[in-house]
Amino acid sequence: MRPEAQVDYRLKGSHPQLVWRVLLALAIASLVLGLVFSFAGADDSEAWRQFKFSYVTSYACYLSLSLGALFFVLIQHSCNARWSVTVRRVSEAIMMNMGLMLVLLVPILFWLPDLYHWADAEHVAHDALLQQKAPYLNIPFFLIRMGLYFVIWIGLSTYLYNRSVRQDETGDYGLTQAMRRISPVGLILFSLSLTYFAFDLLMSLDAHWYSTIFGVYYFSGAFMGALAFMILICIWVCSTGAVGRAINREHFHDLGKLMFGMVVFWAYIAFSQLLLIWMGNIPEETVWYMHRYTGTWKGFSWFLLIGHFILPFLYLLPRSVKRNQALLGIGALWMLAMHYLDMYYLAMPSFTHENVPFNIVDPALFIGMGCLFAAAVVWRLTRRHVVPIRDPYLAESLAFENF
């Protein structure tokens, strides 16, 4: 019998190649459909503005998956985790979409005055509060910060990914040590950059409002969404037969437990933010929630509470669900949809807080950007071993069992 380090864990054949090509075609078709329907309303300028807000919503959703995957890799190396070795390459492929997300950020940079009041000089001239915040909320400094965030994220992702795939060839244990040394520092940089990014991209859509816990709120959804996406990709990889039993129900069980934990953590952070603002009862803080408790947004808020916490809490609680690929996959799909609706809840009331403006443009952009994101992940997985074949802890991950 060959040692596991020599097993060829590659996605072979025409099926994986067909998958990412079909996903790419669907992405193009959906994005074009979204553009067409954005001008279907009577007021083209208003429809185009809604397209921009919908684009930001989908962008925040999918960038968060790469950020969550980067956090997963960083925390596994920092903790010297053994169980996750066989699923780590999937997470690495997801985090390496940072470059794609940097490209997709470009349209938002051109739309800044239409999306953010603080970027509109005429609006700022008549708003005393925005004038006070101008040293931070201004276009040049915003661009500098965005550049710094992506330098950190792309730098960390590339460093970790390159050493991981190089180890497939060399088996050098020093590469594991290098990744372990950089990860604690990376976690600090990641935490700071993600927090300020959440402030910049989403919280500043309503620049009169603020919450110091907002970055943690965005992180909780990001990590939960990344775990859901990882589960779906791992299920697909297992269906190809490329990994044999290298990724098995023990690994799905742990991924499911982490996703379940983040469902609870998201609810805890969301409630903590609401409770503190409710108790403080300061108008410039409570107005954010009032916008989400007006018209049909009230029903949307209740649906998010039930769909993002109560139902998945009850569904994912049994051990049997987390150890069954099909049942866990259903839960992961649901949580991805809820994560998108959570981003919609954060962004779209800044477009209109009278009623939920949901129309065909929103799912078109969500599906289009999602297919593009997934196509890039699948394409990257076809170019390398899906499992780190010469990681020093591979044998322990293969033998891992939950008790």
C-alpha dihedral (386, 392, 398, 399), degrees to nearest 10: -170
pLDDT tens per residue, range 108-132: 999 999 999 999 999 999 999 999 9
Kind plus residue range of the DSSP H or E element containing 278:
helix 249-280
pLDDT of residue 35: 86
> For residue 284, what pLDDT is reported?
81
To the nearest 10°, report the CA torsion of 108, 111, 112, 117: -130
383-403 confidence digits (pLDDT tens)? 999 999 999 999 999 999 987
pLDDT tens-digit series, residues 175-191: 999 999 999 999 999 99
Residue pLDDT, tens place only, 193-251: 999 999 999 999 999 998 999 999 999 999 999 999 999 999 999 999 999 899 999 99
59-70 b/e (C-beta count within 10 Å ≥ 16 → b): bbbbbbbbbbbb
**What share of the chain has pLDDT > 70, as a percent?**
97
Average pLDDT over the chain, rounded to whole?
Answer: 94
pLDDT of residue 6: 59
* pLDDT 10s digits, 256-294: 999 999 999 999 999 999 999 999 888 888 999 999 999
- What pLDDT is attached to residue 44? 64
In this prediction, residue 46 carries a pLDDT of 82
Q: What is the pLDDT of residue 37?
A: 81
C-alpha closest to that of 96 among 216, 221, 214, 226: 226
Distance in angstroms (rounded) separating the CA atoms of residues 291 and 119: 21
* Start-to-end Cα distance in the chain: 28
Give DSSP secondary structure letters for 308-355: IIIHHHHHH-SHHHHT-HHHHHHHHHHHHHHHHHHHHHHHGGGT-SSS
Side chain identity, residue 164: S
How many CA atoms lie within 13 Å of 120's alpha carbon, on the beta-carbon side? 13
**Residue 4 banded pLDDT, cuts 50, 70, 90:** very low
| Per-residue tokens: 56 | 């930001």
Across 139-145, average pLDDT: 98
Residue 16 or 220, more confident: 220
Instruction: Please give the Cα distance from 168 to 173 (Å, whole number).
Output: 11
Q: Is the pLDDT of residue 41 over 60?
A: no
> Could you tell me where the DSSP H helices lie in 111-248?
112-115, 121-125, 128-133, 139-170, 173-201, 214-240
Averaged over 66-94, what is the pLDDT? 97
Q: Give the pLDDT of residue 3.
A: 40
The confidence band for 142, taking pLDDT boundaries of 50, 70 and 90, is very high
Q: How far is CA 140 from CA 33, 108, 115, 120, 124, in A?
A: 33, 14, 16, 13, 15
Residue type, 391: D
Give dist(CA 56, CA 365) in Å, integer: 10
State the DSSP code for 203. Answer: G
Res 2: pLDDT = 37
pLDDT surpassing 60 at residue 43: no
CA distance 81 to 88: 10
More reliable by pLDDT, 15 or 214: 214
